[in-house]
Amino acid sequence: MILASGSPRRQQLLREVGLNFEVVLRPVAEAIPPGKSPSEVATHLAWHKSEAYLDLISEHIVLTSDTIVSLEGQLLEKPQDRNDALRMLRLLSGNVNQVISGVCIRHQEKQVLFHASTLVTFKTLAEWEIEHYVDHFKPYDKAGAYGIQEWIGMIGIEKIEGDYYNVVGMPIGMVWAALKENFAVEIPKYLS
């Protein structure tokens, strides 16, 4: 199995369900297509990434994923710097955001494309809490500038509606179900 992602969180989730995989990274431009809903953007990006691995799908299952954060229709991508991360967390404070992960699984002629959506409600955060989180956890590799599994999730998240693991980085239960339903013959080869 090939995981086309450098995300340590996605790698950890796959390891925790007992799948053996190899990380293969290839440069892919992540341009957001205009005029699409957040769920369409997430699934498009996951599919687009998979196109860079077509030479591998004859021998391997290839898994690509992309996670986005949407606040009232505005996409919050990975922050560019400290000020951008602070800005995003100020927007999220006291509000509900939607975390959407698009997933594409390909092997030979078969392709499975789906998304998961989770609503995350933030408590109202004090400015010093926002600054502390950004300065100590440096969430620059995370859409929306936060990781629910980190300090900010422990102190700043009021509730979630949906799949927790989707917010961490990938809806691992849905990935497992998609593998089982569509690639059942292949799965035992990838179990540790």
Catalytic residues: 66
Distance, in Å, from the CA atom of 176 to the CA atom of 66, rounded to the nearest integer, reads 17
- Helical spans, DSSP H, in the chain: 8-16, 38-50, 82-92, 127-137, 151-156, 164-168, 172-183, 187-190
| Joined tokens for residue 186 | 């292949």
Is 81 in contact with 140 (CB distance < 8 Å)?
A: yes
